[in-house]
């Protein structure tokens, strides 16, 4: 009889070791997969370009132009139109124009396809003009 119990004990120990080995292999493959995804995200580059033009009503104003959280322009506008070309650097982008005199922030969504964006300023604030 003791022989029969010893065989079951060895079988259970073997199954336990095998279960831990399978779990260890799964954890390794999940880690490698997540690491590979992060590396792909870091190396991602975009070819699209945003062409931003401040066309009317900005002369003499102190402005800052941000895309997402990056400052691209902080100046007092001396002539019109003022143009910027900004290369796309994120999957989703938003343009923020800050008028320092009135402390108003105007926010506009930017397309994932890039493109031209034209803006004017009037008494109501900064507005996006229709695309050409």
Locate all alpha helices (DSSP H) within 1-132, ordered by sequence.
2-42
113, 94: one domain: yes
- Give Rg (Cα) of the chain: 29
58, 118: one domain: yes
**Number of folded domains that form the chain:** 2
Read off the pLDDT band of 56 (50, 70, 90): confident
What separation in angstroms does the CA of 76 have from each of 20, 48, 94, 111? 66, 28, 22, 27
71, 110: one domain: yes
- Phi, psi of 123, deg, nearest 5: -65, -25
33, 85: one domain: no
64, 123: one domain: yes
| pTM of the predicted model over 0.85 | no
64, 80: one domain: yes
58, 121: one domain: yes
Q: What is the share, in percent, of the chain residues with pLDDT greater than 90?
A: 34
Q: Which of the two residues, 122 and 132, has the higher pLDDT score?
A: 122
Taking every pair of Cα atoms in the chain, the longest distance, rounded to a whole number of angstroms, is 100
Is residue 47 over pLDDT 80? yes
What one-character DSSP code corresponds to residue 69? T
CB within 8 Å of 96: residues ≥ 6 apart:
65, 66, 67, 105, 106, 107, 108
99, 123: one domain: yes
16, 36: one domain: yes
List the domain range (segments joined by +) for residue 85: 49-128
Q: What is the pLDDT of residues 68-100, one digit of tens each?
A: 888 999 989 888 888 989 998 888 889 999 988
Which residues on adjacent β-strands are paired with residue 6?
none
Read off the pLDDT band of 64 (50, 70, 90): very high
Q: What is the pLDDT of residues 12-34, one digit of tens each?
A: 899 999 999 999 999 999 999 98
98, 123: one domain: yes
């Amino acid at each position: 009889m003791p022989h029969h119990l010893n065989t079951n004990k060895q079988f259970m120990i073997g199954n336990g070791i095998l279960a831990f080995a399978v779990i260890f292999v799964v954890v390794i493959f999940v880690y490698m997969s997540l690491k590979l995804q992060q590396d792909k995200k870091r190396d991602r580059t975009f070819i699209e370009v945003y062409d931003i033009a401040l066309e009317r009503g900005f002369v003499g104003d102190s402005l800052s132009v941000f895309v997402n959280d990056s400052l691209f322009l902080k100046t007092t506008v001396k002539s019109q139109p003022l143009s910027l070309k900004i290369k796309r650097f994120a999957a989703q982008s938003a343009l923020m124009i800050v008028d320092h005199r009135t402390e108003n922030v105007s926010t506009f969504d930017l397309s994932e396809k890039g493109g031209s964006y034209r803006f004017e300023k009037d008494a109501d604030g900064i507005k996006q003009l229709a695309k050409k």
